[in-house]
């Protein structure tokens, strides 16, 4: 570990700058999502909750509601509510759980895969456009730091209210 890698107490000015940039990022990300990207109109977009659910099913395969909820850090009723329109739209399929006939297993439907692939393609193009003057190393550094930041948020949200967050799980890491 080099001296630059050693955690230190951040200055209030640096914390103010970080929180301001995160707030700007959140606003601009939402504006970009609502407007659609440069390559796909908003009408064909998948909302954030649907994108995360479809991505999780794509990465982890058929999953029960409880396991999907646990992996995403939300409760089962939220998953059930968010999945219903995806099933109705033909993006997600419900199959009987082979281990428990009363439960269902959710899986990505072919239409859901096609929609997810299109959104990913569009988002890759937008990321390429936004980071056009970055090196691959800068993109990798940013992805690693943003992943670490998201993991810290997830750990903090699931931590007991006593202070420091526990180590994050790999559930929110992008696929390698």
Radius of gyration of the chain (CA): 19
Q: Give the H/E segment covering residue 85.
A: helix 76-88
Query: What SS3 class is residue 148?
Result: helix
Looking at residue 170, its pLDDT comes to 46
**Residue 15 CA from chain centroid, whole number:** 24
- What is the maximum span of the chain, computed from C-alpha positions, in angstroms? 57
pLDDT of residue 124: 92
Output the six-digit token pair for 94: 């419900």
pLDDT at 159: 79
Tally Cβ neighbours within 10 Å of residue 100: 10
- The answer to whether residues 62 and 105 touch, using CB atoms and an 8 Å cutoff, is yes
Low-confidence ranges of the chain (pLDDT < 50): 37-43, 165-173, 175-176
- CA atoms in the 13 A half-sphere facing the CB of 12: 0
Over residues 39-87, the pLDDT tens digits come to 444 445 688 889 999 999 999 999 999 999 998 888 999 999 999 999 9
Using left for φ > 0, alpha for ψ between -120 and 50, and beta otherwise, residue 173 falls in: beta
């Amino acid at each position: 570990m080099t001296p630059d890698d050693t955690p230190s107490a951040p200055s209030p000015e640096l914390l103010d700058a970080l929180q301001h940039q995160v707030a700007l990022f959140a606003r601009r990300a939402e504006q970009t999502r609502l407007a659609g990207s440069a390559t796909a109109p908003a009408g064909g977009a998948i909302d954030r909750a649907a994108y995360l659910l479809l991505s999780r099913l794509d990465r982890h395969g058929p999953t029960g509601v409880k396991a999907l909820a646990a992996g995403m850090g939300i409760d089962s009723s939220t998953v059930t509510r968010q999945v219903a329109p995806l099933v109705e739209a033909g993006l997600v399929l419900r199959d009987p759980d082979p281990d428990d006939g009363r439960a269902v297993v959710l899986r990505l439907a072919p239409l859901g895969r096609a929609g997810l692939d299109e959104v990913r393609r569009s988002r890759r193009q937008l990321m390429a456009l936004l980071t056009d003057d970055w090196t691959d190393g800068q993109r990798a550094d940013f992805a690693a730091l943003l992943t670490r930041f998201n993991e810290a948020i997830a750990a903090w949200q699931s931590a007991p209210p006593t202070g420091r967050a526990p180590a994050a799980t790999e559930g929110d890491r992008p696929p390698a």
